[in-house]
């Protein structure tokens, strides 16, 4: 298992290969399609984003409310294809270095990943309660009106994932 600490450098990302198991520690941001749409609208207007995504990871998740004594509730990955219309632009304009979700990505997303040195990690669907145990802190960053689909800043320790598509375009989804 490879230990990764955010922010990620392009060199670290380009060294990862499809199939590598990783444990991510540091800060990751959350966002689903509604948040992606709002982030891109801000960029289109020339506005500053609520968080600097350069060299960061965005996790496609809509976490459940936190139970007493915990920073977050169940936090399993969302199907990533819903972010595909937004990901290439977000990658190109922000310097985003990684994404976490579940399921395959479009050709356009993979091409942007190859061009800009980005990796796509898969988290295990159905394991949201276990994943939540790796989240140490959760703070609202933007778009509270989106509820669980708002942008949150998570502090994680040994967040488990697998490199599903590496920065060369090699994909676990293409292997037979």
* Cα–Cα nearest to 122, from 168, 159, 150: 159
Supply the residues annotated as catalytic. 36
Q: How far apart are CA 31 and CA 7, in angstroms?
A: 17
Q: How far apart are CA 75 and CA 21, in angstroms?
A: 19
Strand runs (DSSP E) across the chain, as ranges?
A: 2-5, 21-30, 57-59, 98-101, 119-122, 135-142, 151-165
Tell me the two tokens of residue 22.
């990783």
Report helix, strand or coil for 114: helix
DSSP for 29-46, please give it. EE--HHHHHHHHHHHHTT
Instruction: Give me the residues paired with residue 155 across strands.
Output: 27, 137
């Amino acid at each position: 298992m490879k230990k990764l600490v955010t922010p990620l450098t392009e060199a670290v990302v380009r060294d990862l290969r499809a199939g590598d198991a990783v444990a991510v520690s540091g800060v990751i941001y959350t966002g689903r399609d509604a948040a992606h749409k709002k982030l891109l609208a801000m960029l289109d207007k020339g506005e500053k984003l609520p968080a600097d995504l350069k060299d960061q990871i965005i996790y496609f998740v809509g976490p459940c409310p936190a139970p007493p004594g915990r920073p977050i509730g169940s936090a399993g990955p969302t199907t990533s294809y819903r972010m595909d219309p937004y990901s290439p632009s977000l990658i190109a304009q922000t310097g985003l270095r990684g994404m976490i979700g579940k399921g395959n990505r479009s050709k356009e997303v993979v091409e942007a990943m190859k061009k800009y040195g980005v990796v796509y990690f898969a988290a295990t669907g159905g394991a949201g309660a276990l994943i939540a145990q790796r989240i140490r802190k959760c703070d609202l960053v933007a778009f509270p009106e989106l509820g669980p689909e708002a942008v949150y800043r998570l502090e994680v320790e040994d967040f488990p994932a697998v490199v599903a598509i590496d920065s060369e375009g090699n994909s676990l989804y293409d292997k037979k």
